[in-house]
């Protein structure tokens, strides 16, 4: 057979130009697909194939990406209204609703060229119930607000300018005191003083200061920040990289969004200090696609920092050169897992890698890489500005420094606050949350995030930190969803499993099948139609996912399942016929 009958169809000029705009860079594959969709309202097999040819990639790789990220679609949708069905929004709307009912209600209220679809948690839990209008964040917005939302109304962000009684503000100290889009305001209030102090030290001295502070990672695991940077700095291979994980996709958690919204230069400064200490030459901020407003704010801050020689070549004449880039995701909770994030950053499906090797040895582009959370980086400038001993003095507890907490649910004063470690759940509810709502009695709380522990009143007075999970109550990323007597534990667990099932990447069978099977059982039980053996099967599935899943997503699903059944076993038994 000869090739004389093969037709070589030219690449569409528009798509060729989009790829060229991104330097025909394979790592920019996700941005190329997003831009194609923006121009055409949807992807097509032809447009994805042309994009792949432009980037010199096999078409199946880009098709795999196009079907992986929830913000990409092969269906024309016009203007898009994404309605959050995360547990906080579910709780705010009506505990009797499931996600499908909510979507149907919104669809019936929206007219014109709008598509309504569900979305997992938007990171707007303090504005629940929340929606995303194209790229714009809105809330609180109930179904009765649908037409207003379509006409431009967006609600109002939560105001955190006034500290709550008992707060110890460090990372949140400048909220309401500076214009977050003004580097002049930031400089006048001491932002970048920590970087200036670091540059007066050697990288080793800077790293030693962070290590001495005892700063633990604020993403949930609590791994020492300085130790991770030490691993990267000790690697001989260069270049070395830093990644800021701003893919804040876990339900209940929105602290990183607030930090970016209120003081983006603090984050830029912390990343630059991390780069200096670890010997990195570049950093990427991987931010979830639903945070477009925050991504633009960061890009503005980076440009301003470069204009003041606080980023770029030979920063402040120190000989240290460092750049930061912003990379947008496209809707995938799994990309919060550090190796999946790196895969996505490299222009692939965001599926986790086997570990070892770990990112400090083999990370982005196969090079030594440190991945840290937004809050972790935001703490660093204050340590370099005021010293490790000062940081440790902020806490009267064994864990040094301060932490951002999020109190949500049936408390009078929900939202974010900053305080030392060692708070009890009772203190979080009564001292910082204003107590339970009138008519509400504490029943349970989901502690740490969607992958946290469900606790009852027996754990109200346990001091909470990264080690308290051993006593049955987790800190995680610092979120606490407080629920009263009106909420079914079974129904809440169903909502969590709905999230995990929807967001599983599908790479491994225990997570892919286990989450959906658990959801199937919980759907029945929430309707009072459970079957004999359901509780035992849920326990077995929780063990299976925890022991056998490939990455932290599937491994953590069993945590809320087990703790809910441990403390509220009778409620699960009652849900069985």
- For 227-245, the pLDDT digits (tens) are 999 999 999 999 999 999 9
* Closest listed residue to residue 455, CA positions, set 437, 469, 434: 469
* Closest listed residue to residue 195, CA positions, set 304, 203, 229: 203
Find all residues with CB under 8 Å of 239, minimum gap 6, and list them.
280, 281, 282, 367
Place of tokens 């509810």: 429
In angstroms and rounded to an integer, the radius of gyration of the C-alpha atoms of the chain is: 24
Separation of first and last alpha carbons in the chain: 67
pLDDT confidence of 187, banded at 50, 70, 90? very high
Distance CA 33, CA 44 (A): 10
Q: What percent of the chain has pLDDT over 90?
A: 91
Higher-confidence residue of 97 and 212: namely 212
DSSP SS3 for 261: helix
Find all residues with CB under 8 Å of 16, minimum gap 6, and list them.
50, 54
* Closest listed residue to residue 417, CA positions, set 165, 190, 216, 140: 165
Residue 475's CB is within 10 A of a number of other CB atoms, namely 26
Q: What is the DSSP string of 285-324?
A: EEE-TT-HHHHHHHHHHHHHHHHTTSSBSSGGGSS--BEE
Distance CA 429, CA 67 (A): 42
CATH of 79-150, one of 3.40.30.10, 2.60.40.1180, 3.40.50.1820, 3.40.50.720: 3.40.30.10
Q: What is the DSSP string of 529-547?
A: -B-TTHHHHHHHHHHHHHH
Q: What is the pLDDT of residue 104?
A: 87
CATH of 489-574, one of 3.10.130.10, 3.40.1190.20, 1.20.1440.230, 3.30.420.40: 1.20.1440.230
Region 289-298: mean pLDDT is: 98
Residue 4 has pLDDT above 80, yes or no: no
pLDDT tens digits, residue range 477-533?
999 999 999 999 999 999 999 999 999 998 999 999 999 999 999 999 999 999 999
DSSP 397: S
* Closest listed residue to residue 424, CA positions, set 442, 450, 438: 442
pLDDT tens digits, residue range 390-442?
999 998 888 999 999 999 999 999 999 999 999 999 999 999 999 999 999 99
Residue 98 has pLDDT above 80, yes or no: no
* Closest listed residue to residue 289, CA positions, set 342, 317, 237, 249: 249
The answer to whether residues 105 and 143 touch, using CB atoms and an 8 Å cutoff, is yes
Q: What is the pLDDT of residue 396?
A: 81
pLDDT tens digits, residue range 337-355?
999 999 999 999 999 999 9
No. of helices (H) and no. of strands (E), the chain: 23, 13
Region 204-218: mean pLDDT is: 97
Domain with CATH 3.10.20.600 in the chain: 402-484
Residue 6 has pLDDT above 60, yes or no: no
Q: What is the pLDDT of residue 250?
A: 95
pLDDT confidence of 99, banded at 50, 70, 90? low
Region 62-66: mean pLDDT is: 96
Higher-confidence residue of 113 and 214: namely 214
Distance CA 247, CA 341 (A): 8
Q: Compute the Cα dihedral for 331, 334, 337, 340 and give only its sign.
A: negative
The answer to whether residues 320 and 272 touch, using CB atoms and an 8 Å cutoff, is no
Of the listed ranges 102-111, 264-273, 424-433, the one predicted with least confidence: 102-111
Q: Which fold has domain 402-484?
A: Ubiquitin-like (UB roll) (3.10.20)
Domain with CATH 3.40.30.10 in the chain: 79-150
Pairing mode of beta strands 479-484, 442-447: antiparallel
Of the listed ranges 18-27, 92-101, 402-411, the one predicted with least confidence: 92-101
Q: What is the pLDDT of residue 81?
A: 95
Q: For 183-393, CATH number?
A: 3.40.50.11540
pLDDT confidence of 219, banded at 50, 70, 90? confident
Q: How far is CA 526 from the centre of its chain?
A: 28
pLDDT confidence of 125, banded at 50, 70, 90? very high
Place of tokens 């070589």: 8
Partnered with residue 133 across adjacent β-strands are 81, 136
pLDDT confidence of 222, banded at 50, 70, 90? confident
Higher-confidence residue of 44 and 78: namely 44
Q: What is the pLDDT of residue 102?
A: 82
Of the listed ranges 44-53, 93-102, 198-207, 445-454, the one predicted with least confidence: 93-102
DSSP 347: T
Distance CA 253, CA 255 (A): 6
Residue 547 has pLDDT above 60, yes or no: yes
3-state SS record for 545-567 = HHHHCCCHHHHHHHHHHHHHHHH
Domain with CATH 3.40.50.11540 in the chain: 183-393
Q: What is the pLDDT of residue 9?
A: 85
pLDDT confidence of 1, banded at 50, 70, 90? very low
Single pTM value for the model:
0.95
pLDDT confidence of 78, banded at 50, 70, 90? confident
């Amino acid at each position: 057979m000869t090739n004389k009958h093969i037709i070589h169809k030219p690449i569409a000029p528009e798509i060729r130009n989009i790829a060229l705009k991104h330097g025909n860079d394979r790592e920019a594959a996700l941005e190329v697909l997003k831009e194609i969709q923006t121009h055409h309202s949807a992807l097509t097999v032809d447009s994805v194939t042309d994009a792949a040819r432009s980037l010199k990639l096999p078409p199946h790789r880009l098709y795999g990406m196009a079907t992986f990220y929830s913000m990409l679609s092969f269906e024309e949708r016009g203007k898009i209204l994404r309605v959050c069905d995360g547990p906080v929004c579910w709780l705010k709307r009506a505990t009797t609703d499931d996600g499908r009912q909510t979507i149907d209600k919104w669809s019936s209220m929206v007219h014109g060229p709008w598509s309504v679809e569900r979305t997992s948690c938007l990171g707007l839990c303090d504005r629940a119930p929340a929606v995303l209008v194209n790229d714009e964040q809105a809330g609180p917005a109930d179904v009765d607000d649908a037409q207003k939302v379509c006409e431009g109304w967006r609600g109002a962000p939560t105001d955190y300018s006034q500290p709550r009684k008992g707060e110890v503000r460090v990372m949140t100290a400048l909220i309401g005191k500076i214009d977050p889009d003004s580097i002049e305001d930031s400089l006048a209030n001491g932002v970048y003083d920590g970087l200036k102090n670091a540059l007066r030290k050697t990288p080793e001295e800077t790293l030693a200061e962070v290590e001495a502070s005892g700063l633990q990672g604020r993403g949930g695991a609590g791994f020492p920040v300085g130790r991770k940077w030490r691993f990267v700095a000790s690697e001989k291979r260069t270049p070395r990289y830093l990644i800021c994980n701003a893919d804040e996709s876990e339900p209940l958690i929105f602290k990183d969004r607030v930090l970016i919204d209120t003081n983006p230069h603090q984050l830029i400064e912390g990343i630059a200090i991390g780069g200096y200490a670890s010997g990195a030459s570049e950093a990427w901020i991987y931010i979830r696609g639903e945070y477009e407003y925050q991504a633009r704010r960061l890009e503005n801050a980076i440009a301003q920092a470069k204009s003041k020689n606080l980023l770029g070549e030979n920063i402040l004449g120190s000989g240290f050169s460092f750049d930061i880039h912003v990379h947008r995701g496209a809707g995938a909770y799994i990309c919060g897992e550090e190796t999946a994030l790196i895969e996505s950053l490299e222009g692939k499906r965001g599926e986790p890698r086997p570990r070892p090797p770990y990112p400090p040895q083999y990370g982005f582009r196969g090079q030594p890489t440190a991945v840290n959370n937004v809050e972790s980086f935001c703490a660093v400038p204050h340590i370099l500005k005021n010293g490790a001993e000062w940081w440790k003095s902020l806490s009267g507890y064994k864990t040094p420094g301060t932490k951002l907490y999020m109190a949500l649910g049936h408390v009078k004063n929900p939202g974010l606050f900053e305080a030392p470690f060692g708070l009890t759940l009772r203190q979080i509810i009564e001292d910082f949350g204003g107590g339970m709502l009138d008519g509400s009695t504490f029943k349970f709380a989901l502690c740490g995030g969607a992958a946290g522990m469900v606790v009852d009143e027996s754990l109200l007075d346990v001091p909470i930190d990264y080690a308290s999970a051993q006593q049955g109550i987790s800190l995680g990323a610092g979120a606490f969803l407080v629920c009263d007597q009106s909420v079914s534990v079974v129904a809440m667990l169903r909502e969590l499993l709905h999230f995990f099932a929807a967001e599983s990447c599908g790479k491994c069978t225990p997570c892919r099948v286990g989450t959906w099977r658990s959801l199937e059982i919980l759907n029945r039980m929430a309707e009072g139609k459970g079957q004999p053996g359901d509780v035992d099967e849920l326990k077995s599935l929780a063990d299976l996912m925890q022991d056998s899943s490939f990455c932290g997503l599937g491994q953590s699903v069993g945590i809320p399942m087990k703790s809910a059944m441990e403390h509220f076993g009778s409620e699960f038994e009652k849900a069985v016929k």
